[in-house]
Amino acid sequence: NFIPDRDKVGYAGVERYFQSILSGRNGKRLVEVDVGGQVLRNVVPPVDPTPGFNLRLTIDSRLQSAAESILVREIDEWNAYYGEMRMNSGVVIALNPKTGEVLAMVSYPSYENNRMARVIPQYYFKQLSEDPRNPMLNHAVGDELPAGSVFKLVTAVGALNEVVVTPEQIIKAPPKIVIEEKFSANVLNPRTREFIDWNEAGFGEIDFVNGLANSSNVYFYKLGGGFEDEIPEGLGICRLGTYARALGFGNYPGIELPLVEDGLIPDPTWKRINQGENWSSGDTYIASVGQGYIIATPLQVLLSASTIANDGELMRPTILREILDSDGNIIKSFVPDSVWDITSDPVIDIFEDPSSPGGCESKLTGEKKSVEPWVIEKVQEGMHQAVLNGTLTDEFENVNISVAGKTGTAEYCDKYANEKNLCIPGNWPTHAWTTAYAPYEDPEIVVIAFVYNGGEGATVAGPIVRQFLEAYFEIKAGDTAAQNP
């Protein structure tokens, strides 16, 4: 039986997820007593209480502290620059791409753990509940957000593997393209729609590596939806979806935390059921750059980058290193768990006529395939060039670390933006994303930074990632020096 004055219950986070392991079990004793209350005998054999187990986490407290201080400082500095509270929440997560061990996970703002230890003050709970930033939610795993250009990693892998484009093929990337917005194959006189690059000057003629390094919207619009004779058939939403799921989107990641969301990778059937409309050609173009109906958690975005950093192998993320008994003996140790290796496991659905109208399910052949290893290598090269000569060059100019990364600037229009009249057609507010891994040649850490309403990914989230990587390698160097005096 639960005894309120004595027994503890994990309200949230790790303690909630592992409640049954941490809490132990009460003992039981059923006795016969006389009229004076003296125990005469045990009616049944007594059951001794069992202490709960303890947990040792993968989180490095030094990296956790560094991640939080860097994130908060960057947000504060930008708010001071703008002279208003423009940015007020964000996420930083770091993990080992080879093992899936989470080394840091910061969701800001949060709450004070010591005020939740026993009785939660009513005024404090009310304060947290009414805060529009939702500090009681772990935004790292529970917030579903537009991914923006960090999702181009999915389009990149899919387009190369499906030979939508070759690495050397030169594609024109003007400031904008105009397509026909079609909701079915036989539409007469369809309306046209402009798709604009973030770079007002465009990028001229570029190949795959430069298209990814510079995150050209027009380049990826063409890969996703096709464009005239230049790319007769784009990747399409069905194939885009299967590559997204292979890289960790649209699935529960399996981390040991409660209230974890799985995001959304939409398809024509989903839109028909939920929006009451047919899928349009424009929906595919927008999805290819991580916008439209696509939403993901920061952890899912990180896992996509981690899979690429780890040569195509997706490791299940974990925060648990060891389970120990009350005497400190190790009961169970963490063992890296591979979800799949997309370069060897057949996890990519094969479709018959994937660009034809209709739902994706009807086009499935029942067969699957894997991703060619060279495809992952080319995407890695594009991410490395993003640091050397692309969207992250300015942020990593004087950093003596070999890094690969991807930026993202994701348009959004939620209820808070609407309340502030920020959702101006053609000029929506944006979230800032950046993910990166290092060292490029042999990755041992991958990190993501997300800032709500942060604006440009490279400008706001990029410095957070850079500073965190610098802190990581500084701590590592100190540990190495201490071990080898």
Structure token digits, residue 181: 């917005």
**What sign does the dihedral 382-388-391-395 (CA atoms) show?**
positive
pTM of the model: 0.92
Amino acid occupying residue 308: I
pLDDT by residue (tens digit) across 423-433?
A: 887 789 999 99
Q: What is the per-residue pLDDT for 11?
A: 64
Q: What is the per-residue pLDDT for 131?
A: 83
Q: What is the per-residue pLDDT for 6?
A: 54
Find the radius of gyration of the CA atoms of the chain: 25
Q: What is the per-residue pLDDT for 92?
A: 98
**What sign does the dihedral 451-454-459-460 (CA atoms) show?**
negative
Q: What is the per-residue pLDDT for 190?
A: 81
What distance in Å separates the CA atoms of residue 316 and residue 305, rounded to the nearest whole number? 13
Q: Domains in the chain and their CATH numbers?
A: 13-52 (no CATH), 56-483 (3.40.710.10)
Q: What is the per-residue pLDDT for 424?
A: 83
What distance in Å separates the CA atoms of residue 156 and residue 288, rounded to the nearest whole number? 9
Residue 403: Cβ-neighbour burial (10 angstroms; 0-12, 13-18, 19+): buried
What distance in Å separates the CA atoms of residue 303 and residue 293, rounded to the nearest whole number? 20
Q: What is the per-residue pLDDT for 53?
A: 84
Q: What is the per-residue pLDDT for 7?
A: 56
The closest of 100, 162, 97, 98 to 348, measured between CA atoms, is 162
Low-confidence ranges of the chain (pLDDT < 70): 1-11, 116-118, 185
What distance in Å separates the CA atoms of residue 93 and residue 301, rounded to the nearest whole number? 10
Structure token digits, residue 413: 């229009």
Q: State the alpha helices, DSSP H only, in 143-290.
A: 152-161, 208-213, 217-225, 236-246, 268-275, 281-287
Other Cβ atoms within 10 Å of 205 Cβ, number: 11
Give the Å distances, CA to CA, from 32 to 12, 35, 41, 45: 41, 10, 5, 12
What distance in Å separates the CA atoms of residue 302 and residue 314, rounded to the nearest whole number? 11
pLDDT by residue (tens digit) across 74-118?
A: 999 999 999 998 899 999 999 999 999 999 999 999 877 777 666
How large is the greatest C-alpha to C-alpha distance in the chain, in angstroms?
Answer: 98
Bridge partner residues of 171 (DSSP): 206
